[in-house]
Amino acid sequence: MAERKLLEVLKGRTAFPPPVWLMRQAGRYLPEYREARRKAGSFLDLCYNPDFAVEVTLQPIRRFGFDAAILFSDILVVPHALGRDLRFEEGLGPLMTPIGAEEAVALSMDGFHEHLKPVYETVRRLRQELPEEAALIGFCGAPWTVATYMIAGRGTADQAPARLFSYRHPEALSRLLDDIAAASADYLIRQIDEGADAVQIFDSWAGVLDEKSFDRWCIRPVAEIVRRVRQKHPTTPIIGFPKGAGWLYRRYRRETGVKGLGLDWTVPLDEAGRLQMEGAVQGNLDPMRLVAGGKALSEGVKSIMSALSGGPFIFNLGHGITPETPVEHVQAMINQVREEQSWQPT
């Protein structure tokens, strides 16, 4: 069996056409997902029921033939498994009881893996049911991003509650991130044990941190996750996605040790090319181009492919696909990436 294309690229090889997958590729833009969500009852029921989670993970693979599937779950199942409350409300997203400085040093791993058994079953079943050529990506949230929700109790525009917490209670935040990192590493290890080919660490709120805070709250805990995972699975590729990291992307890759680097849509393509010289890059189409379609989409795809397809590259968005995305635009994007020959390396 030929090696899965995504894994080839993460080892530093060039593949043409490049592997394609999308963050949040299983989601509300698909009518079949909306039907499964309705049957499941709640979002958490969808995440924790392997029958539903397997089904929605496979839906975009069946429809589009992506080169990789990403486990359907949520980054907040980790604090949920650590004993924190969690619910999702329509129009509001995830809601938790905000954590204080004293509670931040009182998390427990008791029952952690038992709570996540349905997720591990989902991974195991996915690897059995996916096409052989499709890679399976496991994931977790980066400790900083997970902590922002735990501290504020919800998502906020600039994560001011977590940033303020970091200045007022740095020791408590350090302990909290250490605990989340240890739990997240165990979580990723178990996903790999059950069949994940690669894993991605999502740091969606890395871009709100200043330089010193970025080093302490973003790089340090992610480096610890990478270290722990590599102790158990030294050859499994790890993709890091520090959204909004800007000129700190290069430092992030070098100091965390991730193999693949997910780029958001604000990263200039000439800088993306320089980052690609140090290893595989992934991204970075603006999700709004995918919503717009037409010339905006085709020009965005062409620019990215022309700049990056000559090196180790995974075509993806610069963040998750949005619910209002027309399905036909996704297919048009895939067709353009896979069928256009003008940017093929010679």
Q: What is the pLDDT of residue 344?
A: 65
Q: What is the pLDDT of residue 258?
A: 98
Q: What is the pLDDT of residue 233?
A: 98
How is residue 125 written in tokens? 């079943």
How is residue 183 written in tokens? 């739990």
pLDDT band at residue 108 under the 50/70/90 scheme: confident
Closest of 128, 208, 204, 141 to residue 177, by C-alpha? 141
Whether the Cβ atoms of residue 95 and residue 153 lie closer than 8 Å to each other: yes
Determine whether 47 is exposed, middle or buried from the number of CB atoms within 10 Å of its CB (0-12, 13-18, 19+).
buried
Whether the Cβ atoms of residue 306 and residue 344 lie closer than 8 Å to each other: no
pLDDT tens-digit map of 6-16: 999 999 999 99
pLDDT tens-digit map of 18-63: 999 999 999 999 999 999 999 998 999 999 999 999 999 999 999 9
Q: What is the pLDDT of residue 342?
A: 64
Name the H helices within the chain. 5-10, 31-40, 43-48, 50-64, 77-81, 112-115, 117-129, 143-152, 160-168, 170-193, 211-213, 220-232, 249-256, 269-276, 287-292, 294-308, 327-339
pLDDT band at residue 345 under the 50/70/90 scheme: low
Whether the Cβ atoms of residue 184 and residue 113 lie closer than 8 Å to each other: no
pLDDT tens-digit map of 248-294: 999 999 999 999 999 999 999 999 999 999 999 999 999 999 999 99
> Annotated active-site positions, please?
24, 28, 37, 74, 149
What is the distance between the alpha carbons of residues 143 and 295, in angstroms, rounded to a whole number? Answer: 38
Domain ranges of the chain: 5-339
In this structure, what DSSP letter does residue 248 have?
A: G
Classified as helix, coil or strand, 241 is strand
- More confidently predicted of 106 and 169: 169
Question: How many other C-beta atoms lie within 10 A of the C-beta of residue 38?
Answer: 9
What is the distance between the alpha carbons of residues 211 and 152, in angstroms, rounded to a whole number? Answer: 22
What is the distance between the alpha carbons of residues 218 and 85, in angstroms, rounded to a whole number? Answer: 24
Q: What is the pLDDT of residue 255?
A: 98
Chain-wide mean pLDDT for the chain? 95
In this structure, what DSSP letter does residue 27 have?
A: S
Q: Which fold has domain 5-339?
A: TIM Barrel (3.20.20)
Whether the Cβ atoms of residue 241 and residue 203 lie closer than 8 Å to each other: yes
pLDDT tens-digit map of 161-181: 999 999 999 999 999 999 999
pLDDT tens-digit map of 71-80: 999 999 999 9
What is the distance between the alpha carbons of residues 170 and 183, in angstroms, rounded to a whole number? Answer: 20
- Return the bridge partners of 239, or none: 200, 260
| Rounded (5°) CA angle 54-56-61 | 95
